Amino acid sequence: MLVLGIESSCDETGLALYDTARGLLAHAVHSQIDLHAAYGGVVPELASRDHIRRIVPLLRQVLAGAGAGSGDIDAIAYTAGPGLAGALLVGAGFAEALAFSLQVPAVPVHHLEGHLLSPLLSADPPHFPFVALLVSGGHTQLMRVAGVGQYELLGETLDDAAGEAFDKTAKLLGLGYPGGPQLAQLAERGAPGRFDLPRPMLHSGDLNFSFSGLKTAVLTQVRDHAPDAAGKADLCAEFQAAIVEVLAAKALAALKATGLKQLVVAGGVGANRALRAALDAGVRAAGARVFYPELELCTDNGAMIAFAGAQRLTSGKAAKAAGRFGVRPRWNLQEA
């Protein structure tokens, strides 16, 4: 079965072709970073218009890369939510129309399910059940994953997600867009310990997170100390260390609470090198294993959507569309 995946939930347009017998055949992503940089953040209307411009050329690109034609497509999976309503509608409308013209199924996919299942595309994938740490954009969650469509929420952020905290703190420090990667790069030039930042909810006794106060603590340090360039690097290093410590501790606690020995880390923040180093060491000490998607699949992409759609189809658990061209800007993963 050849499945076309379409991702357009925010500021990346991603398309991919996944074959259930041969694996991932081709994928392509267009990032809108340059488009939104002048505004310091994503402008929803501009994002939607850019998806419209990019989606057909990207389809042609992945078809050529896979050596396939549109008539070879057996199903089309698309991100139906959560995300920006206008951006989602571009992908959903295109997917539903193309599926109708080809007389093939159109499968709505939850964006976070795509991230969650993306490590299964690796050469050495995890096996169900496992614990998943989802750190993608506005989401920070811990899940027990028993199978496709079988997700138990163990803990989540009560306010800002880790990715949001990175981006907002970067903006506070006057760093460029996108803020998270810029902050992480600056952190590598600094050293933690010079500034005192909290580790929110580290000892809360549950698996929930909270990062809003950490951002406020950075603001206080900036106001009190007016750090120079070296000071900003040290502040970034301390900020990153605080988030990494909390994420790693909670993920390890989730493994212990569930008795599972596999941890999956997915989402854009999962590419952070400091987080990977901390999780690698912690999981190894716990006698468990940790799995990540390929680096190119950490950010939003069509490959994860094609794969998730294929898994839904082959397991007979395809989600129902929210009406023709319907999307779900807010969508609980457990309801997918």
Mark whether 250 and 112 lie in a shared domain: no
How far is 33 from 21, CA to CA, in rounded Å?
34
Mean pLDDT of all residues belonging to the chain: 95
Q: What's the confidence (pLDDT) of residue 203?
A: 96
1 burial class (0-12, 13-18, 19+ CB within 10 angstroms)? middle
Count other Cβ atoms within 10 Å, centred on residue 191: 12
Query: Where is 163: in which H helix or E strand?
Result: helix 162-172
In our burial notation (b when 16+ CB lie closer than 10 A, e otherwise), range 78-114 reads bbbbbbbebbbbbbbbbbbebbeebebbbbbbbbbbb
pLDDT tens for 266-314 read 999 999 999 999 999 999 999 999 999 999 999 999 999 999 999 999 9
Contact 256, 225 (CB under 8 A): no
Judge whether 70 and 102 are in contact, CB under 8 Å. yes
Which residue range(s) make up the domain with 308? 2-116+297-335
> How many structural domains comprise the chain?
2
Does residue 244 share a domain with residue 144?
Answer: yes
pLDDT (0 to 100) of residue 322: 55
* 65 and 183 together in one domain: no
Residue type, 160: D
Mean pLDDT of 84-109: 96
**Residues 187, 83 share a domain:** no
Let me know whether 303 and 282 are in one domain: no
104 and 17, same structural domain? yes
pLDDT band at residue 320 under the 50/70/90 scheme: low
Highest mean pLDDT (candidates 82-86, 319-323, 327-331): 82-86
- The candidate with the shortest Cα–Cα distance to 8, out of 78, 58, 63, is 78
- Which residues are CB-neighbours of 218 under 8 A, at least 6 positions away? 169, 172, 173, 197, 235, 239
How far apart (Å, rounded) are the C-alpha atoms in residues 232 and 332?
Answer: 37
- In this structure, the answer to whether residues 236 and 301 fall within a common structural domain is no
Query: For residue range 236-269, what is the model confidence (pLDDT) as tens digits?
Result: 999 999 999 999 999 999 999 999 999 999 999 9
Q: Do 17 and 153 reside in the same domain of the chain?
A: no
Do 109 and 198 have their domain in common? no
CATH of the domain at 316: 3.30.420.40
- Do 22 and 107 belong together in one domain? yes
Say if residue 185 is in the same domain as residue 322: no
The mean per-residue pLDDT over the stretch 118-128 comes to 95
